């Protein structure tokens, strides 16, 4: 960037060129510029010829440099939108993905009663639990995570958004005792520990414990599904997000464990992404 102050249009063009290795370079540039300006997206169009101050330009340049190094945009801004909810994020938790909104949609399509009890295992930022509670304020929703920092972040998001969810530190069901739920949902770690993609892109900066699982990525599915039996009400639902190649094997495992009415749903890209099963 030159020493002369840049207009917003020029800043976006420069940053997009700098971040050309990203598959969303222009979007990255706009999100980071809006973060610096502390303005809504409409500001970029209404004031495209306005110039950055020296401080704004220096901060923007610093953010773009970190983005070039591969740091996720969500970590640079401290926020990611999920289900139209602005969630605070930290490096200790997985950044919520648009694909995970498919899980929220699948649960909402069930059209359940008002007094449902729902458990979100491995809640991270609280994204799934908060999205479902925002749509169904009468539901009793609990989110748990093994990592205390994640629990504190989820509680912060709950308070910030004014959405009532109980968040607890728990290694899957360890703090749940004998409670039962009508729905248990989870987006557990499901990437094979040897997957080469773990060394590429934004994923390099995310916690491995939230991404990988033993047994070719299936171990957490197995552990959760086994334990969930005694925590599901009769006819209760178990809902998993999973990798696009895992659906057939996961359905087979759930069938072997006695689950019924197993069904798989596709994400926005048409990939098998969410499997739902019932305990009858």
Asked if pLDDT for residue 197 goes beyond 60, the answer is no
Asked if pLDDT for residue 25 goes beyond 70, the answer is yes
- Are β-strands 181-186 and 117-121 bridged in parallel, bridged antiparallel, or unpaired? parallel
> How confident is the model at residue 191, as a pLDDT?
65
Asked if pLDDT for residue 121 goes beyond 70, the answer is yes
Asked if pLDDT for residue 23 goes beyond 90, the answer is no
CA torsion, ordered 268, 273, 279, 280, to nearest 10 deg: 60
Q: Among 80-94, 140-154, 211-225, which range has the highest average pLDDT?
A: 140-154
CB 240 within 8 A of CB 250: yes
User: Cα–Cα distance between 54 and 59 in angstroms, integer?
Assistant: 9
Give the count of beta carbons closer than 10 Å to the beta carbon of residue 19: 20
SS (H, E, C) 139-170: CEEEEEECCHHHHHHHHHHHHHHCCCCEEEEC
Greatest C-alpha distance within the chain: 68
Asked if pLDDT for residue 5 goes beyond 60, the answer is yes
> How confident is the model at residue 212, as a pLDDT?
52
User: Cα–Cα distance between 271 and 42 in angstroms, integer?
Assistant: 33
- Supply the Cα-derived Rg of the chain in whole angstroms: 21
Q: Which 8-state DSSP code applies to residue 6?
A: P
Q: Which CATH number fits domain 91-279: 3.40.1360.10, 3.40.50.150, 3.40.190.10, 1.10.3720.10?
A: 3.40.50.150
> How confident is the model at residue 87, as a pLDDT?
92
The pLDDT tens digits of the residues spanning 27-64 come to 889 989 988 888 888 888 888 888 988 888 888 988 89
Distances, alpha carbon 22 to alpha carbons 87, 98, 100, 208, in Å: 23, 17, 21, 21
* Strand partners for 277: 238
Indicate the pTM of the whole model: 0.78
* Strand partners for 279: 236
Residue 133 host element (H or E): helix 127-135
Close Cβ partners of 277 (under 8 Å, ≥ 6 residues apart): 237, 238, 239, 254, 259, 260, 261, 262, 263
Asked if pLDDT for residue 214 goes beyond 80, the answer is no
Close Cβ partners of 85 (under 8 Å, ≥ 6 residues apart): 127, 130, 131, 134, 157, 161, 163
CATH superfamily of 8-69: Ubiquitin-associated (UBA) domain (1.10.8.10)
Give 231 or 204, the one with higher predicted confidence: 231
CB 26 within 8 A of CB 12: yes
Delimit the domains of the chain by residue range: 8-69, 91-279
The encoded tokens of residue 68 equal 């070039």
DSSP secondary structure letters along 38-107: T--THHHHHTTT-B--HHHHHHHHHHHHHHHTT--HHHHHTEEEETTEEEE--TTSPPP-GGGHHHHHHH
The band of 215, judged by pLDDT with boundaries at 50, 70 and 90, is low
Give 220 or 193, the one with higher predicted confidence: 220
């Amino acid at each position: 960037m030159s020493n002369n102050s840049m207009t917003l249009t020029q800043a976006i063009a420069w940053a997009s060129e700098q971040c050309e290795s990203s598959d969303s370079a222009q979007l990255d540039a706009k999100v980071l510029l809006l973060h610096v300006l502390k303005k809504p997206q409409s500001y970029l169009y209404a004031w495209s010829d306005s110039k950055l101050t020296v401080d704004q330009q220096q901060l923007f340049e610093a953010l773009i440099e970190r983005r070039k190094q591969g740091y996720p945009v969500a970590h640079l801004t401290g926020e990611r939108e999920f289900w139209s909810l602005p969630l605070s994020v930290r490096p200790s938790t997985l950044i919520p993905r648009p694909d995970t909104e498919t899980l929220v949609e699948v649960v909402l399509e069930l059209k359940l009663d008002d007094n449902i009890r729902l458990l979100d295992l491995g809640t991270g930022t609280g994204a799934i639990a908060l999205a479902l509670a925002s749509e169904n304020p009468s539901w009793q929703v609990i989110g748990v995570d093994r990592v205390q920092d994640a629990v504190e972040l989820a509680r912060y998001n709950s308070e910030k958004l004014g959405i009532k969810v109980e968040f607890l530190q728990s290694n899957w069901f360890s703090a749940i005792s004998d409670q039962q739920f009508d729905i248990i949902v989870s987006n557990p770690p499901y990437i094979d520990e040897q997957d080469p993609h773990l060394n590429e892109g934004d994923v390099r900066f995310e916690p491995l414990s939230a991404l990988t699982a033993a047994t070719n990525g299936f171990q957490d599915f197995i552990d959760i599904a086994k334990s969930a039996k005694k925590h599901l009400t009769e006819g209760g639902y178990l809902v998993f997000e999973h990798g696009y190649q895992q659906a057939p094997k996961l359905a087979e495992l759930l069938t072997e464990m006695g689950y019924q009415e197993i069904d798989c749903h596709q994400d926005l890209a048409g990939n098998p992404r969410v499997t739902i099963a019932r305990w009858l």
